[in-house]
């Protein structure tokens, strides 16, 4: 495709009190090889010096400021509503893109006819805990893949046709956590195809900034909100989502060093899916092999 015919893609960067890292995210968007971008930074009522950092960029970016702190789902919807692009690419303000992220991902979508896609990514663990490239065994994401968890699609890898996102109602503003999980269940249960680009395109900063009780609250909400549509499509889907939810709670509990609760939730996940438990196969087994140096 000729460069001057490539559609405008709007980059949406929500941020709240991350003046120490937001410029890294913005710079990685400005340095993209894709030739037709607009960059929207949604300042979700930061109280630090974020705005002064953003002002340095002048007209290279567009800054939209919330007057009150509305959280990430509302910030992404604000970006969606202001965006002029045909497609939307989301980037969390503590993450960064490799310079050819948009170019390669959009070319992949064009070649295979996708209007939505996500990609592999590289996790950067804080406190000198290392770097790990995440490789997921997908070509196209199916609804049942999504029910196991959002392992395939951190928000910062998503590239989506704006009209599709608007049609499903954007992000659900009730969700201040696991909002990506919730929206992908709606996207996939609505029948949209989601491609998966195998290259790593994004540096995801992995931090433990969620409490177990907070995650429990939103996981309970996810099960309740998804119950009717999943039961209608296939009664087994709700059972799979329960297994995925309890595994996610197990992982978070382990990270919080609450090992008793972690084992409890792992057993609950296994209870709902004793066979072919995908979360255990794709997350736990590789971790154990790496931990104990098993080939």
Q: What is the pLDDT of residues 31-48, one digit of tens each?
A: 999 999 999 999 999 999
All structural domains of the chain, each given as residue ranges with its CATH number in brackets, are 3-206 (3.90.550.10), 212-291 (no CATH)
pLDDT of residue 286: 66
According to DSSP, the residues that pair with 194 across neighbouring strands are 141
For the chain, percent of residues with pLDDT exceeding 70:
91
According to DSSP, the residues that pair with 103 across neighbouring strands are none
pLDDT-derived band at 123 (thresholds 50, 70, 90) equals confident
Q: Cα separation of 228 and 79, whole Å? A: 30
Rounded mean pLDDT, 136-150: 89
pLDDT of 282 higher than 60: yes
User: Running DSSP on this structure, what letter comes out for residue 282?
Assistant: I
Mean pLDDT over each residue of the chain, to the nearest integer:
91
Q: Cα separation of 51 and 18, whole Å? A: 10
pLDDT of 60 higher than 90: yes
pLDDT-derived band at 206 (thresholds 50, 70, 90) equals confident
pLDDT of 295 higher than 60: no
pLDDT of 136 higher than 80: no
Region of residue 200 (left: phi > 0; alpha: psi -120 to 50; beta: else): beta
pLDDT of residue 215: 95
Detail the DSSP E strand segments found in the chain. 9-15, 37-43, 62-65, 87-90, 96-97, 116-125, 131-134, 140-141, 159-161, 194-206
Output the pTM of the full model: 0.91
Out of 9-18, 112-121, 169-178, 204-213, pick the least confident. Answer: 204-213
Length of the chain: 295
CB 116 within 8 A of CB 196: no
Rounded mean pLDDT, 69-90: 98
- Chain-centre distance of CA 176, in angstroms? 13
Q: Which of 152, 224, 208, 214 is nearest to 184 (CA)?
A: 152
User: Running DSSP on this structure, what letter comes out for residue 8?
Assistant: P
State phi, psi for 200 to the nearest 5 degrees: -80, 125
pLDDT of residue 279: 75
CB 10 within 8 A of CB 83: yes
- How many Cα atoms are found within 13 Å in the side-chain-facing hemisphere of 242? 16
Rounded mean pLDDT, 40-59: 96
pLDDT of residue 291: 61
Q: What is the CA radius of gyration of the chain?
A: 19
């Amino acid at each position: 495709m000729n460069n001057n015919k490539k559609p405008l893609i709007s980059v949406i960067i929500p941020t709240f009190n991350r003046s120490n890292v937001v410029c890294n995210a913005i710079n990685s968007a400005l340095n993209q090889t894709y030739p037709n971008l607009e960059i929207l930074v949604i300042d979700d009522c930061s109280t630090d010096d974020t705005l002064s950092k953003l002002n340095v960029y002048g007209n290279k970016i567009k800054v939209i400021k919330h007057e009150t702190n509305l959280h990430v789902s509302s910030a992404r919807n604000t970006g969606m509503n202001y965006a002029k692009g045909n497609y939307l690419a989301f980037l969390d303000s503590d993450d960064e893109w490799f310079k050819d992220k948009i170019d390669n991902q959009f070319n992949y979508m064009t070649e295979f006819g996708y209007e939505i896609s996500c990609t592999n990514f590289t996790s950067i663990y804080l406190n000198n805990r290392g770097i790990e490239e995440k490789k997921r065994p997908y070509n196209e994401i199916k609804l049942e893949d999504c029910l196991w968890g959002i392992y395939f699609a951190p928000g910062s890898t998503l590239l989506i046709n704006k009209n599709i996102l608007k049609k499903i109602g954007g992000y659900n503003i009730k969700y201040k956590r696991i909002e990506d999980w919730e929206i992908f269940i709606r996207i996939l249960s609505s029948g949209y195809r989601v491609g998966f680009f195998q290259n790593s395109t994004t540096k995801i900063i992995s931090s433990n900034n969620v409490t177990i009780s907070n995650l429990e609250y939103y996981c309970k909400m996810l099960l309740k909100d998804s119950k009717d549509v999943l039961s209608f499509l296939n009664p087994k889907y709700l059972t799979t989502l329960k297994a995925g939810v309890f595994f996610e709670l197990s992982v978070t509990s382990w990270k919080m060093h609450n090992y008793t609760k972690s084992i409890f939730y792992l057993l609950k996940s296994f209870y709902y899916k004793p066979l072919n438990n995908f979360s255990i196969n794709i997350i736990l087994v590789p971790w154990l092999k790496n931990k104990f140096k098993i080939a």
